[in-house]
Chain A
Amino acid sequence: MALEYIGTAFMTALQPFNLLVLILSTLVGLVMGVLPGLSATMAIALLTGLTYNFPTQTAIISLLAIYVGAISGGCQSAILLNIPGTPASAATALDGHPMALQGKGGLAIFIATTVSCIGTLLSVVFVLTLTPLLTSLALKFTSWEFFLLSIFGILICGTITAQASPVKGWISGILGLVVAMVGLDTVDTIARFSYGSVNLMSGIQLIPVMIGLFGFPEIVRAFKRHSDDQVTKASKFEMKKGFSLIFKNFGNVLRSACIGVGVGIIPGVGEDTGGWLSYWATRSLAPADEKDTFGKGNPKGIISTETGNNSCIGGAIIPVLSLAVPGSAPAAVLLAAFLMHGYRPGPLLMSESPDFLYNVCIYLVFASVAMWLVALVLSKLTVRLLGVNKKYLMPMVYALCVIGSYLINYNLFDVKVMFVFGLLGIVLTSMNFPAAPFLLGVILGPMLDSNLRRALRLSDGSFLPMFQRPICIFFLAFIILLILAQLGVFKVLKGKKLAD
């Protein structure tokens, strides 16, 4: 049966119109990835509304291609400009730009693009194997588990994204949950935080919130930037040397792919963390005499970062498909897009739409191959692309944000919501509060609320059943330990013991 689904997905992707959409979407994703300030999340969020009129499979192909393109495109500006196009490629700049300064920019781009493609392809293997496993585990989940899973997701996302102060990440997540409470509640249809407004009663849409939080601050920031960044020209690709370097470091590629997938699976933790962790692992495991070469143009740094961040794509899609919990911010938009196109990711996906998993995997394979080809061609134009006047580009992007928000429901109210959340995004950014937990809160809010109240209704308002289920106890223990550890309780206890 699986082979039949794979074959059908293959044939769908090979249709001329779908191939054209694949190439164009990859190009759009790459361009948005190359341009600093336009993130993968923003790219998918913007284009989601635009794919509304596409046939479903074409829309899915388009969105996955944009995702892969945007994550991969960031490396080119990181290498040539020393400014990562997306946060995912931040670690690429460490070794990529020194390579470009040494006249090896072409080789660096070739390596980065090739391992990005390999990273995505390897992550597809994980999607194919882990999604059914996780889905069968999720079938054992009741309302209590889903409630705790939501809290677990927000806590862990808050902890990782607000490294210095996890409390900030948790506050951001709570704010997102509060936003999710706006509108008619899903259990009793009683209006909450609606103040008599019909628009608010139907709830706050995810896409305008996302565009506002992630896109708006970048647009506004570009208005005050007086950039005089120097773009280094890309040299020849040196494909033979590039392939040989990748082949010699294939262990590094495999390790980084595993790290990337692992990071991707964790709710809300994005491709940037995947890239940094892979870079850190490679640097830590390098021989002592080689450690100093990192940050000075060591290709191993690029290989690990780009494999790590791209394999996060597959990793982030695994919880989307199996639990309906996004693994990263772009995956959160993808989840909303899947829902918009009539798919219901989650534990029942394999029984309701068993072909969907295989479709996503095959489309990811096509997207990564298309990305490799288009990115190498595009790299010849990147220098020109990076020279585009931001004062022209960003207002245009804002007009696209307006369209992206409007097309979700054909309602101008959503555009106004986008603006409001844009201002909130600026405040959060300037206060160093991460936006990812906020977004995850908006996504997981309905799941948290409805499952908790459903569970409490079944138990006549008692919390006791939660403590009688093994998976719940695991989640509870993890949540409590995480909070206590992050608040420094264990450190205090350890300090007291030592003092005694």
Chain B
Amino acid sequence: MESKTKEMIFSLVLILAGVYITIEGFMIYARAASAPYFITEFTVSPGFVPVILGIALVFFSILHFITCIRDKDRKPGEVIKARFAEAAAWVNANKKNVDIAFTIGAVIIMGVYTYILMELLPFWAATVIFLLGIFFYLRADKWWKNILVAVLGVIAIVIVFQYCFNAALP
């Protein structure tokens, strides 16, 4: 996908984010203006800076959006249509892209380690499982080497941090 297309879509997301931040800023202002705070002056309210940031984000994202759709030979509407068509074609073409799927798989393993294994198991156990999982997934080397590196790696980490640095691991 052309970088301008990616950036155009991203700038639309940013515009939405900016609108949300502005609205949330006003809601913070409304909360601060009521009991027990009674901060009614907008400029000193905790919602003031978020509102300004939201507006600035919308403004600069619109500027960026305009830059992405600027084309000497075509009208803006045509460019937007063409860019969305290009994005859709890219998604269709890359649905079965092995490289992308492979990377996403690795990120999912990292996510499982961070959000699930670390919550349920002690650090050493979670990390051994994670390292083994990702080494085998990435086909790092022979199976016995993967096991050896995972186990020795975790032992080294635990010795260095828990015993040398006296840090309590999760």
Which residues does A use to contact B, with CB under 8 Å? 49-50, 52-54, 165, 167-168, 170-171, 174-175, 177-178, 181, 185, 187-188, 190, 192-193, 219-220, 223-224, 389, 391-392, 395-396, 398-400, 402-403, 406-407, 410, 412, 415-416, 418-419, 423, 427, 430-432, 448-449, 452-453, 456-457, 460-461, 487
Contacts of A395 in B (CB 8 A): 130-131, 134-135, 138
Contact partners of A415 in chain B: CB under 8 A: 114, 118
Contact B103 A220 (CB under 8 A): yes
Q: A185, B61: Cβ atoms under 8 Å?
A: no
CA distance A406 to B6 in the complex (A): 34
We find that the number of chain B residues with CB closer than 8 angstroms to chain A is 63
Bound CA–CA A239/B161 (angstroms): 39
Closest B residue by C-beta to A171: B60
Tell me the residues in window 53-75 of chain B with beta carbons closer than 8 Å to chain A beta carbons: 53-54, 56-57, 60-61, 63-64, 67
In the complex, which of the residues B64, B67, B131, B138 contacts A399, with contact meaning CB atoms closer than 8 Å? B131
Taking the complex as formed, is B10 at the interface, i.e. its CB lies under 8 A from any CB of chain A?
yes
**B114–A392 touching, CB < 8 Å:** no
19 contacts between A and B (CB under 8 A): A165-B67, A167-B60, A171-B57, A171-B64, A174-B57, A185-B46, A188-B39, A223-B102, A223-B138, A224-B103, A392-B135, A392-B140, A395-B131, A395-B135, A400-B157, A402-B127, A453-B49, A456-B44, A461-B41
Partner of B50, one of A170, A192, A224, A487: A192
Q: Is B168 an interface residue (CB 8 A)?
A: yes
Name the residue on B nearest A461 (C-beta).
B43
Give the chain A neighbours of B157 by CB distance below 8 A.
Answer: 396, 399-400, 403
B80 interface residue, CB < 8 Å from A? Answer: no
Q: Can you add 11 more A-B contacts, CB < 8 Å, to A53-B166, A399-B157?
A: A165-B67, A171-B60, A171-B61, A174-B53, A178-B50, A219-B110, A223-B102, A391-B140, A399-B153, A416-B115, A423-B107
By secondary structure, the B interface counts as: helix
Given contacts A391-B138, A396-B131, A398-B110, contact A192 B6 (CB under 8 A): no
A341 → chain B, closest Cβ, in Å? Answer: 15
> How far in angstroms is the closest Cβ of chain A from B119?
7
> A53: which B residues are within 8 A, CB to CB?
165-167
Q: Does B167 contact A412, Cβ atoms closer than 8 Å? A: no
Q: State whether A410 touches B138 (Cβ < 8 A).
A: no
B135 touches A50 (CB 8 A): no
Quick one: closest A residue to B14, CB to CB?
A: A171
Give the docked Cα–Cα distance between A187 and B153 (Å): 46
User: With A50-B165, A403-B169 known to touch, is A431 a contact of B141 (CB < 8 Å)?
Assistant: no
Q: Is the CB of A487 within 8 A of B63?
A: yes
**Is the Cβ of B3 less than 8 Å from the Cβ of A432?**
yes
